[in-house]
Structure 1
Amino acid sequence: MALVLVTGAAAGLGLATAQALTSGGHDVVAHARHPSRLAEGDLLGRIRGAICGNLAEPDEVIALAEQADEYGRFDAVIHNAGVLRGPDVLAVNTLAPYVLTARMRQPHRLIYLSSSMHRSGATDLRGLTAARASYEDSKLYVTALSAAVANRWPEVGSHAVDPGWVPTRMGGPGATDDLRAGHETQVWLATGEDIEPHTGGYWYHRRVQEAHPATQDPAFQAELIARLEARTGVSLG
């Protein structure tokens, strides 16, 4: 039985992930912006606990890390929450996963939600200082963050997952990928045995894929972490 934190667990892939984990007998701590969102997803009676806060607000992200640590050391943290467009893209898709990673007690496994669209992200990293960043940029950054964590913390299994284009509220009704397959890789990486590679993978439907070359570049990773530290005031350590 694993203790797993899932961010953005109120709907879509996060809800499906949390439901699959609870059905598998695992202890889930679910994150949502507000407790009422979890009640809508019929999770509250099935989970170990909940933490609530807005991932777009830096102070609330710090508070969420403190709330999460009250449950002890997690076996896995699934950074699922994301937004497709608007002013909060960078904050939710990149900055919040970074701050939670840096401030929470180090888990055994970390899973970051990426996207095939990360391959269109800009590698100049200007999006980290701009007023807004594109979805593509934010997913390039979080994919590189996953790889950087894998290199810095080799004892932790750190992976990025492309869930595919699935028919959630974000993906829209025209999405062509299998909704069930959209969360199965995250559940497997969080709880499975004999994951190979142990860390540093970029996955699509339980198969390792080639990520954007920049995500594997130590210099790019180092610059990304330095800029994230400067932007958030939080050191990865």
Structure 2
Amino acid sequence: MARVFITGSADGLGRAAAETLLDDGHELVVHARSTARLRAVDDLIGRGAAAVAGDLADLEQTRHVAEQVNTLGRLDAVIHNAGVYTGPDILPVNVVAPYVLTALIERPHRLVYLTSGMHSGGRAELRGIDWTGRGGSYSDSKLFVATLALAVARRWPDVYSNTVDPGWVPTRMGGPHAPDDLRLGHLTQEWLATSDDAEARTSGGYWFHQRRRDPHPAALDPRFQDALLASLADYTGVTLSG
């Protein structure tokens, strides 16, 4: 059984994945943005999950989340699920936090980053991007996080690093009338994090419902990958190791 950390586990796809992985006998570390918000995962903690808290919109709290996770011991997989759709925290939560956690958490065997089909409308342009929250759209953020996932796959050949489009599913973010299947929305990340299937034990993929697809070309471009990593390192003061 695997030890898996899931960011943004209090609701939506993160909570659904946590419930399924616990049902399957895996060991979980769940996350909420504050200690008060951990009440939303009391039932998961009661079933044996460990828990960490920290607001991923805040750089120092994100660092502390990594410290808490490392204190709990080595992980097999991290699912970077937490995300926001609107507001000033899009870039900090959707891009900066996954980068910092990737760099600071002791390297697991598998990494899964949630992107979106909307990443195809993102701009492969870092000029004018302010990582504190100004100058980037949701689509931009999802292009950047997909690029991060594929950059990690290239930099860390000993890790399976992939990005997942969960579809437009009926969560709080997606809304009650979203047309895609909720179960399929979290199946792929669970599978990539824990399965022994040959396809799940691969790296550098962009996945939708357990099928590889072609991402935005920029996400595969080593020059854009390196520029993104350099920009994030400059802003955070945290460097992704080689």
Verify same fold: TM over 0.5. Answer: yes
What amino acid maps onto 2:11 in structure 1?
Answer: A
What is the aligned partner in structure 1 of residue 164 from structure 2? 161
What is the percent sequence identity of the aligned residues?
A: 56
1:44 CA displacement: 1.9
1:181 CA displacement: 0.6
Distance in 2 of aligned mates of 1:195 and 1:79: 22
What is the aligned partner in structure 2 of residue 182 from structure 1? 185
**Deviations 1:103-156 (CA, angstroms, capped at 9, x unpaired):** 110000000000000000011123632624210000000000000000000110
Greater displacement, 117-126 / 107-116: 117-126
Alignment RMSD? 1.2
What is the aligned partner in structure 1 of residue 16 from structure 2? 16
1:40 CA displacement: 2.7
Equivalent in 213, 233, 239 of residue 235 of structure 1: 239
Q: Gaps spanning 5+ residues in structure 1: where?
A: none
Residues 26-45 of structure 1 aligned to structure 2 (within 5 Å): 26-41=26-41, 42-45=43-46
Matched, 1:3 2:6: no
Distance in 2 of aligned mates of 1:40 and 1:187: 21
**Deviations 1:177-233 (CA, angstroms, capped at 9, x unpaired):** 001110000110010013426100100000001100000011111111111111111
Residues 134-173 of structure 1 aligned to structure 2 (within 5 Å): 134-173=137-176
Distance in 2 of aligned mates of 1:47 and 1:118: 35
Residues 148, 225 of structure 2: 8 Å contact kept: yes
SS in 1 for 2:79: strand
- In the alignment of these two chains, the number of paired residues is 237
Matched, 1:208 2:212: yes
SS in 1 for 2:8: coil
What is the aligned partner in structure 2 of residue 90 from structure 1? 91
1:173 CA displacement: 1.3
